[in-house]
Amino acid sequence: MYTLLLRYGGKAAPGFPAAVMVDPAVDTSKVKVFGPGVEGQGALWAIGLAVFREATTSFTVDARPLTRRGGGHVAAEVRNPSGALTDCQITDNATGIYNVDYTPFENGVHSVRVLYDDTPVPKSPFQVAVTEGCDPGRVVATGPGLQRALTGKPNHFNIVTRGAGVGGLGITVEGPSESKMACKDNKDGSCSVEYVPLTPGLYDVNITYGGEHIPGERRVTEMERTWSFFNPPVTFRVHLTTFNV
């Protein structure tokens, strides 16, 4: 709503000042924005949607009511509590769906503005609280090396810590023999792990983050190229390396 003033000879013209409603150039009322990067505040912390400092978070912009081909329509701005701006990366999926990633580096409430063709979308700017800490429950480990292993050959799996906060990543491989192990930081919130068991038998692969176990302990059996899952006692601890991801 704008107020329009019109004066002639220093006096207001009849009918002025007048209230004028100005509609946006684009109707963004049906654009949807969702994800931890805009929802991680208030009661949502209780269900695991807190945004952690120095951990990449993301949100999705669904602009399909306005475009099905994508394009440079969506803009985003993340303002820190100090007033500085945090870089954000927008991925155009060329379908009307956009993904936005950013990594906050300050504690406190961040203001996230989302625009479509320079017009704010509903609820923008979003107020997102950022806190210190980590959540091991968000760490995910996947890969064939957690399902079966072969002696004398490299076995691989990946660990994704993106969005889990800042914590030390610990990996232990326990079994009948020492396993040679290497971990590569992929610089994207994930790491690739390779280990080589030397003797057939049961191997227990434990993964911790911030000193706590992540969901889903892994026990791998290698015996002449066959495998299965068991839950017997661990034989002994053979290797422990801590990485910061």
In a domain, 236, yes or no: yes
Which neighbouring-strand residues pair with 95? none
What's the rounded Cα separation, in Å, for the pair 88 and 113? 11
**Count of structural domains, the chain:** 2
Burial of 213 (0-12, 13-18, 19+ CB in 10 A): middle
- Count of Cβ atoms closer than 10 Å to residue 47 Cβ: 8
3-state helix, strand, coil in the chain (%, to 5): 5, 45, 45
Note whether 94 and 143 are same-domain residues: no
Single-letter code of the amino acid located at 54: E
Rounded mean pLDDT, 203-212: 91
What is 160-195 written as a DSSP string? E-TTSBS-EEEEEEESSS-EEEEEEE-SSSEEEEEE
Tokens, residue 17: 């000042």
In a domain, 14, yes or no: no
In a domain, 197, yes or no: yes
Residues 6+ apart with CB under 8 A from 4: 16, 17, 18, 19, 20
Instruction: Return the residue matching tokens 């503005």.
Output: 113
Query: How confident is the model over 26-71, as pLDDT tens digits?
Result: 899 999 999 989 986 444 444 445 789 988 899 999 999 999 999 9
Element housing 37 (H / E): helix 36-39
In a domain, 59, yes or no: yes
What's the rounded Cα separation, in Å, for the pair 240 and 244? 14
Single-letter code of the amino acid located at 49: L
What's the rounded Cα separation, in Å, for the pair 104 and 147? 35
Note whether 24 and 127 are same-domain residues: yes
Model confidence pTM above 0.85:
no
Domain boundary among 131, 161, 194: 131
The CATH number covering residue 228 comes to 2.60.40.10
Tokens, residue 10: 């220093």
Domain boundary among 73, 101, 131: 131
Note whether 215 and 167 are same-domain residues: yes
Note whether 187 and 85 are same-domain residues: no
Note whether 103 and 55 are same-domain residues: yes
Tell me what the pLDDT averaged over the chain comes to.
83
Rounded mean pLDDT, 70-97: 97
Note whether 98 and 140 are same-domain residues: no
Domain that holds residue 201: 136-244
Largest CA distance in the chain: 100
Query: How confident is the model over 109-164, as pLDDT tens digits?
Result: 999 999 999 999 999 999 999 988 888 988 999 999 998 888 889 999 999 998 89
